[in-house]
Homo-oligomer: A and B are copies of this chain.
């Protein structure tokens, strides 16, 4: 097997990740995760004390790759801040075209667990979105944009709006529209910002 050399715990988290993201958290049983991981349920419960803990591990595993991808998409964008910001949305649209795309794991989990505000998964999700926002804020700040913090929030709102809307309509064109909005907002801040033209 290709992943036989991975630690058992990681194999379990990978299996959980595939299933939770693909089917939804409540739709997937612990038995199904154990089977997909090629492990008995007893072993799963050796590594995780509950399904809730497994859910938390699933989200934690996605934090860093998600952030890294954001940074890469931004860095690879051609042009100024506004163009680079728009590039993030365009890359997102491209990735949303894959049939296996099912929106944002954090947002979907928070929608499923909306009745448990104190759930560990909610805290992880909130912290992750804050990381996104903070990263944009720092980036905009470094570029000398006016109202960097507010602007970061608005970009994140457009990002998460894209996730939600495209999940419903299955039409990544909404991400392009969000990208144009982000472009316009960042461009406007650039005009008002420190020592910029017009």
Contacts and interface: CB of A to CB of B under 8 A. Distances in A.
A163 interface: yes
Interface in A141-198: 150, 153-154, 156-165, 167-170, 174, 177-178, 180-181, 184-185, 188
A106 B169 CA distance: 12
A177 B158 contact: no
Contact of A108 (B114, B117, B160): B114
List the number of copies, as a whole number: 2
A174 B188 contact: no
A26 interface: yes
A112 B25 CA distance: 8
A11 interface: no
Interface stretch (A30-38, A44-52, A122-130): A122-130
Nearest to A155: B181
Contact of A154 (B102, B107, B181, B188): B181
A25 to B, nearest CB: 9
A110 interface: yes
A140 B143 CA distance: 33
A184 B174 CA distance: 19
Contact of A170 (B117, B167, B185): B117
Given A26-B27, A102-B115, A160-B164, 11 more contacts: A22-B115, A26-B112, A103-B111, A114-B167, A117-B170, A122-B168, A129-B165, A153-B174, A157-B161, A157-B178, A164-B164
